[in-house]
Amino acid sequence: MKELNLKYGCNPNQKPARIYMKNGDIPIDILNGNPGYINLLDAFNSWQLVKELKEATGRASAASFKHVSPAGAAIAVPLTESLKKVYYIDDTELTDIATAYIRARGADRMSSYGDFVALSEECDEQTAKYLSCEVSDGIIAPSYSKMALEILMKKRRGSYVIIQIDSNYTPNEIETKDIYGITFEQKRNDVSIAEDVLTNIPTNNKRIPNDAKRDLMISLIILKYTQSNSVCYVKDGQAIGIGAGQQSRIHCTRLAGNKADTWFLRQNSKVINLPFRKDIKRVDKDNAIDIYLSDDYMDILADGLWEPIFTEKPILFTKEEKKQWLTELTDVSLGSDAFFPFGDNIERARKSGVSYIAQTGGSIRDNDVIETCDKLGIAMVFTGIRLFHH
Residues belonging to the active site: 66-67, 229, 390
In 10 A of CB 161, how many CB atoms?
25
Q: Is 232 helix (H, G, I), strand (E, B) or coil?
A: strand
Strand partners, 62: 74, 119
CB burial readout 330-369, b (16+ within 10 A) else e: eebbbbbbbbbbebbbbbbbbbbbbbbbbbbbebeebebb
Nearby residues of 222 by Cβ (< 8 Å), 6 or more positions away: 49, 70, 73, 232, 234, 239, 242, 335
Whole-number Å distance between alpha carbons of 227 and 122: 27
C-alpha to C-alpha distance for 100 and 97, rounded to whole angstroms? 5
- DSSP-derived 3-state class of residue 141: strand
Integer CA distances (angstroms), 128 to 124, 144, 188, 386, in order: 6, 9, 33, 36
Please name which of 91, 110, 97, 89 lies closest in space to residue 53, comparing C-alpha atoms.
97
Task: List, as one string, the DSSP characters of 327-340.
Answer: TT---EEEEESS--
Q: Which residues is 176 bridged to in the sheet? A: 185
What count of Cα atoms within 13 Å lies in the side-chain half-sphere of residue 335?
34
CA quadruple 202, 204, 209, 213: dihedral, nearest 10: -20
| Cα 149 from Cα 132, distance rounded (Å) | 11
In three-state secondary structure terms, 138 is strand
